[in-house]
Amino acid sequence: DTAGQERYRTITKAYYKGADGILVVFDLTDKESFLNVDGWLKEIEKHCGTDVSVIVMANKSDVGEDKTNNKTIMENNNMMMKTKGEIEVTDEDIAAFEQTHNLKVLKTSAKSGKGVDEAFLEMTKALIKKQNSMSQEIARNNNRPVNWEDTKSLVRDLIIKRMDKMVHRADIAVEDTKN
C-alpha cells in the first residue's frame, strides 16, 4: 500500500513482479483519486500484462451515513475550501468506468469494514478460477483428469506464498521509509 504517492513510485514496480492479484482503491470523496485509477491500470498492464486479476474498490462508501464526517477543512496553500465527507464520484461515473474497463467496482468502507470481506472474497474467487483453468489446461496437456484436491492445495500454497511476499515487501518498504 503506497496510497498512490509519487515518492513510492520506484518501489511499486517491485510489487508488480509475480503478482497474481491487485486491488486498486480510490476514494469516493476525492474525484482526483478516481481519475488516477486509469493511470494505475495502465501501470498494471505495463508491468503485469493482462494475466493478473484486478479488483477496483471505491472506499469511503460510509460517507454521508455519519454526520460527524462533515467538517470543513483547509486544503492546499490556495486556501481552497472543501467539505470533508462529500461524495465526489457518482454512481454514473462508476458505471461508465465499469463499462469502459470491463471491471466491476466494489464499494467499501475501511472505517466500518463494509464490503471489505466481499472484495477479498472476490479476489480469492478470481485467483481460484484462474488456478482451476491452469490446472485443467495442464491436465489436458498431460491427458489425465483434473485432481481437485491437488488444485485446492496449489491454490492454498499460492495464497500463503503471496501473503508471505506481501509481508516481506511491506517490511522492506517500511525500512526504506525509515532511511
pLDDT, one tens digit per residue, over 104-132 is 999 999 889 999 999 989 998 888 888 77
Residue 93 has pLDDT above 60, yes or no: yes
Pairing mode, strands 53-59 and 21-27: parallel
pLDDT one-digit tens code per residue, 136-167: 666 666 666 556 666 667 777 777 777 776 66
At a CB cut-off of 8 Å and minimum separation 6, what does 33 contact?
A: 4, 26, 27
